[in-house]
Chains A and B, each alone.
Chain A
Amino acid sequence: MDSALIPQGVNRCPLWKFALGIAIVGAVLMWGVYAMMLVWIKGLNQTNMNDAYGFALWIWADLSVIALGGGAFFTGFLRYVIGINDLKNIINYAVIIGFICYSSAQLILGLDVGQPLRGWFIFWHANVHSMLTEVAFCLTAYFGVLCVEYVPLLLENRQLDRVPFFHNLSHNLHEIMAVFAATGAFLSFFHQGSLGGVSGVLFARPFGFREGVFVWPWTFFLYTWSAAACGPCFTILITKITEKVTKKKLVKDNVIQILAKIAGWMLATYMVAKIIDTIYWATVTAPSKGFDLMTFYSNNPLYGIWILILELVVCGIVPAAILITPKWRGNPRGLTLAMILAVIGVCLNRWVMILQVLAIPVLPFENWALYMPSWQEIATTILPVCYGIILIMISYRYLPVFPQEKELNPIAG
């Protein structure tokens, strides 16, 4: 029924199957929308946040999706600015994933502020010394870049492409995509970094605070670096999941291997920097404020030293080692394991740098504060995941997302 919209030369599942899939994910999405409306109408009392936990699940989700969406800017940078041509076969998908991540981040931010209608104050009354201001500006501007990068793909839909204006517009946007990609990389460098700065500048929160250079704490650079390392891992992971779901090979192995190798070296160098940073912080920065390392990891039921080992070793050194070793990287299971660990690692880092910072008592006569999200918070965090799945389903069905799909899956006859 919708065959006129489907790209030529590729196979898609029957419409009823597609509609059923959308309906199932859509039902979960509606649950999230209901929770979202509750939050907007009744306020943040619908959450389990409190005065000790001003930042919680949402901000973690925000920081995580932006790190994972980093695949878009970094792959774009490698493809258009550095000129690694093979990556043209995965860049479309990286852009879609980035678009989903960034639009989700904006939605979550819209929920998370106490007075959403005043959200524009952050732009109009900007305090340029605040990391959040920089995040808001660069994130919004970069979302604009992602839209510009997504539009040409949309216009390549079989029916839209027949309109001469759309065809020409899409062509022109492609022609100067390097300019947009470079601007995107510039903006991403700053907002990924500023998200790292969010906890790094908190000089009265010894768990998060880091020294740095000029106005930027070390976490600024660590966040950008880890997003560039783990973002592409997420892109590859989602590509692999898509291949599993569609039961098709969509991107050639050499393309995946190039991206995985670069991500691996980014991750390995990031881990070196992160470990140096951790050692300096544990032995110099925190002790200067009166904190032994273990005070951050004891006297509470959740945050033990295991979390540091999990982040640095299991989800840091291990995936980096797999990805920089050609033999292990070439093994499909090894590759998938490394992708999953790297993604968990970066999400864990964001969790620790936001929630553990707030959990740790700074006043000596206060106790650890622990927190469990309410169902409304969980539902609104699952909402963007459902929205992402739906957008991917629609994009995959109606747009030529994977340039190698036809070649890898020839239709008989």
Chain B
Amino acid sequence: MLPFSFEWVWDMGHLLFHGGLWFALNVIGIGVTYCVVKAVYDTMKGNSTNHH
């Protein structure tokens, strides 16, 4: 999973697999973080968003 484990090989298979995986994980992570941070910010400012 990480380059620290001894099975890790810097070959195309690993790069493609982990590249795709970490890309997806980052999108999810950044997306959620953005929503949480923005919600904290909105709440502090006292904004009340209209619902969808």
Q: Is the interface of B mostly helix, strand, loop or mixed?
A: helix
Is B24's CB under 8 angstroms from A176's CB? Answer: no
The contact string, 1 if C-beta is below 8 Å from chain B, for chain A 93-126, is 0000000000000000000000000000001111
Supposing A126-B7, A164-B43, A168-B39 touch, asked if A176 and B31 sit within 8 A by C-beta, the answer is: yes
Contact B34 A128 (CB under 8 A): no
Residue A171 at the B interface, CB < 8 A?
yes
- Also in contact, A172 and B38, with CB within 8 A (given A126-B7, A167-B51, A180-B28): yes
* Closest CB in chain B relative to A133 CB, distance in Å: 8
Chain B residue contacts of A190, Cβ below 8 A:
20
Structural contact, B52 and A183, CB atoms closer than 8 A: no
Contact flag A125-B38 (CB < 8 Å), given A174-B52, A180-B31, A190-B20: no
Contact yes or no, A183 B13, CB < 8 A:
no
Q: Mark A170-186, 1 if CB is under 8 A from B, else 0.
A: 01111110011001001
From A126, A167, A186, A187, B1 is in contact (CB under 8 Å) with: A126
CB of A370 to closest CB in B, whole Å: 37
User: Which residue of chain B is the closest to A122 with respect to CB atoms?
Assistant: B1
Is B31 a contact of A179 with CB atoms below 8 Å?
Answer: yes
How many chain B residues have a CB neighbour from A under 8 Å?
29
Counting chain A CB atoms within 10 Å of each CB, the highest count among B17, B34, B46, B48 belongs to B17
Chain A residues in 8 Å Cβ range of B43: 164-165, 168
A382 to B30, CA, bound (A): 37
B49 near A171 with CB under 8 A, answer yes
Whether A134 is near chain B, meaning CB under 8 Å from some CB there, is yes
User: B1-32 interface mask toward A, CB cutoff 8 Å, 1 = contact, 0 = none?
Assistant: 10001010000011001101100110110011
Does A129 lie at the interface of the complex (its beta carbon under 8 Å from any beta carbon of B)?
Answer: yes
B34 CB to closest chain A CB (Å) equals 7
A125 touches B21 (CB 8 A): no
Ranked 10 nearest A-B pairs via Cβ:
A169-B39, A172-B35, A168-B39, A128-B17, A168-B42, A171-B49, A165-B43, A164-B43, A183-B27, A173-B35
10 additional contacts, CB 8 Å, given A172-B38, A179-B31, A183-B24? A126-B1, A141-B28, A168-B38, A168-B39, A168-B49, A172-B35, A172-B42, A173-B35, A176-B31, A179-B27
| B interface, CB within 8 angstroms of A | 1, 5, 7, 13-14, 17-18, 20-21, 24-25, 27-28, 31-32, 34-36, 38-40, 42-43, 46-49, 51-52
Residues of A within 8 A of B (CB): 123-129, 133-134, 137-138, 141, 144-145, 148, 164-165, 167-169, 171-176, 179-180, 183, 186-187, 190
